[in-house]
Amino acid sequence: MQLEISNISKQYPKTLALDNVSVTLDCGLYGLLGPNGAGKTTLISIITALVQPTAGTVRYNGKPVGGRDYMRILGFLPQDPRFYANFTAEEFLRYMAAMKGLDRKTAKPRIADLLEQVNLTEHKHKKIGAFSGGMRQRLGIAQAILNDPEILILDEPTAGLDPKERVRFRNLLSRLSGDRIILLATHIVSDLECAAKEVILLREGRLLQKASPLSLQSALAGKVWLVQADETELGQYTARFIIANAAAADGKYALRIVSDEKPHPSAVPGQPRLEDVYLYYFGEPT
């Protein structure tokens, strides 16, 4: 099982969205991180065969992606999923099962199981138009894995989920990742820190890194600093450095700074986290 993304570029009239991106994915969960405009959604659109690249190829097990057979082994949750407001959750999943080629005998227990997994069983007869944003997102996750896909592509799947539901979702992905390829694009770094096999970093359409979370964090040794500051010093540090965190207590601030240089003689090294990796490469909060 291998998804090979080779020398992918995508040129729009005024923007080079992807610039010669090459990565190979096998079984496991991969995170796709980058700021807005990095090319994440364009790359996902090409992998799902919704958009054709300007150059390069995407192959699954040696064959170009696309066509009916590929769609049958693909699960996809777009960043802004659309639903039929007058359908109930159960009706929507039955409809999607038919679209994905599942027979009724297979679909019925599968739908019941997925509604339970995404915590929507008690709402299965409720119209989707009355769902909250988080409930719609959970329903979108259910439809994405309805056909037990070999490749699962998720674009910002935890948007709108509360912390408890995000934990439930991460646990679900961990269970699924053993025998399929999962690509998860997200701004929520904590969704990847423990579960991701590797993290793919994109910036301005270019591949920066593809490595395990631990490797990325280890590479930041000596670039994360802990500093105590007062009110006046806080502004000075903020102007000069990337501040990962500022915790106030007794008129002082405990700062977590991401920097190549030691920000103050009193600064002590901190243990790097994946959020620090994001800030180091992209220079903005997630």
Contact 99, 71 (CB under 8 A): no
The rounded distance, in Å, linking the Cα atoms of 60 and 25 is 10
Residue 241 burial (C-beta neighbours within 10 Å; 0-12, 13-18, 19+)? middle
| Helix, strand or coil, per DSSP, at residue 176 | helix
CA dihedral (157, 51, 97, 134) in degrees, to 10, reads 20
- Per-residue model confidence as pLDDT tens digits over 77-100: 998 888 889 999 999 999 999 988
Q: Which two tokens stand for residue 148?
A: 């037990």
Tell me how crowded residue 262 is: count the other CB atoms within 10 A of its CB.
15
Listed as own residue / partner, the contacts of 239-242 with beta carbons closer than 8 Å and 24 or more positions apart are 242/279, 242/280, 242/283
Residues sharing a CB contact under 8 Å with residue 64, sequence separation 6 or more, in sequence order: 57, 58
C-alpha radius of gyration, the chain, whole number:
21
Q: How many CB atoms lie within 10 A of CB 103?
A: 9
Percentage with pLDDT > 90 across the chain: 72
pLDDT one digit per residue (tens) for the chain, 286 residues: 899 999 999 999 999 999 999 999 999 999 999 988 899 999 999 999 999 999 999 999 999 999 988 989 999 999 888 888 999 999 999 999 998 889 999 999 999 999 998 899 999 999 999 998 888 888 998 999 999 999 999 998 887 778 888 888 888 888 888 889 999 998 778 878 878 999 999 999 999 999 999 999 999 999 999 999 998 899 999 999 999 999 998 889 999 999 999 999 999 999 999 999 999 999 865 4
Instruction: Work out whether strand 74-77 and strand 28-33 pair parallel, antiparallel, or are unpaired.
Output: unpaired
Superfamily of domain 3-217: P-loop containing nucleotide triphosphate hydrolases (3.40.50.300)
C-alpha to C-alpha distance for 83 and 89, rounded to whole angstroms: 10
Residue 265 DSSP symbol: T
pTM of the model: 0.89
Beta-bridge partner residues of 24:
4
Closest Cα partner for 281 from 193, 179, 209? 209
Cβ contact 170:140 at 8 Å: no
**CA distance from start to end of the chain:** 32
Spatial neighbors of 234 by CB under 8 A, at least 6 apart, are 246, 253, 255
3-state helix, strand, coil in the chain (%, to 5): 35, 30, 35
Query: How far apart are alpha carbons 40 and 33 in whole angstroms?
Result: 8
Residue 286: per-residue pLDDT: 46
